[in-house]
Each structure stands twice: as C-alpha cells, then as structure tokens.
C-alpha cells in the first residue's frame, strides 16, 4: 500500500476516503480488475463512514456481499470513495470532476465516478436511490448501471431508503460494467428475462419534454434520429413524472427518518448538514402520505412493466439539463429556476420507484464538453438483456 501522502498526490480529485492502489488481486473472471467502492458499502478494514462526521472513526468488520463476490472473482479493491453524506445529495461537492473541470461530478456516488474518470479504478460500485449511479456517470461521460431491484444484494450498505436503494456499477466502458454486473447478478435462471430482439422497439415518452432544457431536447431528438436508422421509435404514455417525483420524495424521507430515528440529539448534531436538513423534513410525511407514496410506487411499477408490451427498451435523456457547475444549487430550464436535485433526478428516479433495470450510456453529441448521456431501461429481471441491447445501440450512439 502506498503511503498517505503518495495517495493524496495521485488522487488529485478527492475521489477517495481511503486509497489502496496496491491491493492484491485474485483469480477468476475479474482477475486484476481495479474496483473502487462507495463509502456506504462495507469493505473489511476500510472506512465505512457514509460521509457522516458521526461515523468518521468507523471501519467495516466484513465485506458487503457484493464486495465479497467481486473479490472472489479476482477483483482488486482499490479503496472506498467519497459520497454525499448518507446519500442525501446528487453533487458530491467535495469531489472534483476529472472529465469536466468546474462542473459537478454528480452524486451521491460522485467519488466512485471520479475514481473511474481519473483512471484510478476500472469500475466502481455505488448506490442508487434516485439516480445516484446513473447521474454521476452522466456527469463524467461514463457508463452507469442500476439493476432490477433486489437482483444485487444491498446487505452491508448504510441505507438511505431500503425500498428504493440499489447497488450499481460505474465504468468507462460497457464491457467492464457488463463483466462486473455479470458476477454480481449471479446465475438465477428463473429471474432472468429472455433476450431482446436485434431490431429494437425503442419506447420514448409521448409527453412534451417541457421539463428538459432546450439543448437537451434538441440533442436527444438527434440521438433518436440516428437510432431510427436501424430501430423503431415508439411513442408511449409514461407515468406522470410530477406525481412519481413527489411520491419518491415522501417515500425516501419517511424511510430515511426511520433509519436515523434512534440517534440521540448529540448524535444527530454530528450528522452532515445536508442530512440534518433533509431529515428535518421527514416528520412532515404523514402516515397517509407514506401509504399514498407506496401505492404510487406499486402503480408505477405496473405501468412501466406494461410499456414493455409495446417496446423492448425505454429511452430518455439521463439528466434534464447540461451538467451544472460544481457549486450550482439551482439551474434554469426554459426560464424556470429548478433545484439541481430536481433537475438531476427527474428522469432517473422513475426506475427506482418501479424497480426496473436502467443504464446510463454516453453518446457522440456533447453538451458542455461532455458526451450526452441517454438512459436505457428494460423490463424487470432483463438485466443482461438490457446490457446486450445497450451494446447493440452503442455503435449508433457513438456516431
């Protein structure tokens, strides 16, 4: 292991809480692959702080099952990466963006994305509750994969909202992400959906893209035109995004409030400010609001699954605006001032609520010097088929 000073000089972007670049590799399908792990996923002997001052001295006793699977497959665990505290955020403000200086790295798995973008890891594990793997992938020009809910164990993670939490993978290319996902998904034949056809029916939302920046809408339409050369574009009626977003907020806050409810006042005061502010709102979610949020989540899952009767995959921009400045708290979209959190999760949180697998993929057009990111989703348990479909689309996306 390199010394602390050496680690800091190599990690110029502040991606890591603890950097172990000389960790040993094993034998197996991931032999030698360098894997960074978000600091809310347990890695034996390394910090397990979830970004909270309260847990600053905490280390993990054992590996989370996902980490153990990767070790058993030969991967090298090269450290744990910074996160918005507790997952309460989408910008990881203490981490710089290696791919776009001055722009947010995204979050809350921002350290994981920065580690890969800086070349310090080949892939990284993150957690995704409203888009926290796909958003930083979009902000750094990387690939970000969120599985079907429950396909990859979240045991050994510090939770944010157990109904919405997923472990996902960020990588520079689809090949390394797919290899890593293949190990994590295991070989449950009953869970795996059949392959998707080679000529894809690509479902898009029929509704106007008024929630997206004009440049995002224009770029997305250009991507659709390129894909239409070989595939069929199918306009569909997606679930109402505003209703789903409100329910996502209530569900997340209510479940997060229960996780932190046992803290003493002194312990609560040692949480990061962003977490304290969010948790102060948890008490506003009434039991009836929570029941309504769970109902909407179930209806959303059913509605999204129904869309796959007419489409093989669903496609949207990953984020609704060009990648914001690192210190931005609000962005302007079509003359409206929108919070950065709202702008970045507006398209991604749908598939946390529905539980469907989704992958953020870079494409050839650029905005703010970064590849334009598109989000591809597939039916439940079609995780491998989703990655295959993304691979089939990649040549057209690259232009």
Options 38, 96, 316, 373, the catalytic residue: 38
- The residues with which 171 forms a beta bridge, in sequence order, are 123, 143
Exactly one of 96, 108, 109, 316 is catalytic; name it.
108
Please say if 391 is a catalytic residue: no
In the residue annotation, 221 being an active-site residue is answered as: no
Q: Which of 109, 132, 176, 363 is catalytic?
A: 132
Q: Strand pairing of 330-333 and 358-367?
A: unpaired
Q: Which residues pair with 337 in a beta bridge?
A: 332
132 is catalytic: yes
Residues assigned a catalytic role: 38, 108, 132
């Amino acid at each position: 292991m390199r010394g602390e000073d050496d680690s800091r000089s190599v990690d110029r972007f502040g991606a890591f809480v603890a950097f172990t670049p000389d960790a040993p590799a094993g034998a197996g399908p991931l032999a030698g692959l360098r894997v960074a792990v978000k600091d809310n996923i347990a890695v034996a002997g390394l910090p397990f702080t979830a970004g909270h001052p309260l847990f600053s001295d905490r280390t993990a006793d054992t590996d989370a099952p996902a980490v153990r699977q990767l070790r058993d497959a030969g991967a090298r665990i090269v450290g744990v990466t910074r996160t918005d505290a507790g997952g309460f955020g989408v910008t990881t403000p203490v981490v710089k963006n290696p791919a776009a200086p001055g722009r947010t790295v995204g979050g809350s798995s921002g350290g994981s994305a920065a580690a890969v973008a800086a070349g310090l890891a080949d892939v990284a594990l993150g957690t995704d509750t409203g888009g926290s793997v796909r958003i930083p992938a979009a902000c750094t020009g990387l690939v970000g994969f969120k599985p079907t809910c429950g396909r990859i164990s979240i045991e050994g993670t510090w939770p944010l909202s157990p109904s919405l939490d997923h472990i996902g993978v960020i990588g520079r290319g689809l090949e390394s992400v797919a290899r890593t996902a293949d190990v994590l998904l295991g070989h449950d034949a009953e869970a795996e959906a059949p392959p998707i056809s080679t000529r894809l029916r690509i479902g898009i939302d029929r509704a106007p893209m008024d929630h997206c920046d004009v440049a995002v809408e224009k770029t997305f339409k250009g991507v659709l035109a390129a894909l239409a050369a070989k595939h069929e574009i199918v306009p569909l009626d997606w679930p109402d995004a505003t209703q789903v977003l409100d329910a996502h907020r209530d569900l997340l806050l209510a479940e997060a409030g229960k996780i932190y409810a046992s803290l003493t006042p002194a312990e609560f005061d040692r949480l990061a400010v962003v977490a304290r502010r969010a948790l102060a709102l948890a008490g506003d979610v009434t039991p009836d609001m929570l029941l309504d949020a769970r109902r909407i989540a179930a209806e959303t899952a059913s509605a999204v699954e129904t869309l796959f009767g007419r489409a093989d995959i669903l496609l949207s921009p990953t984020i609704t605006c060009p990648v914001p400045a690192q210190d931005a708290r609000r962005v302007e979209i079509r003359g409206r001032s929108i919070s950065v959190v709202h702008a970045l999760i507006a398209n991604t949180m749908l598939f946390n609520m529905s539980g469907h697998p989704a992958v953020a993929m870079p494409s050839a057009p650029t905005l703010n010097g970064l590849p334009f990111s598109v989000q591809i989703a597939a039916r439940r348990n079609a995780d491998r088929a989703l990655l295959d479909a993304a691979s089939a689309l990649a040549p057209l996306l690259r232009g």
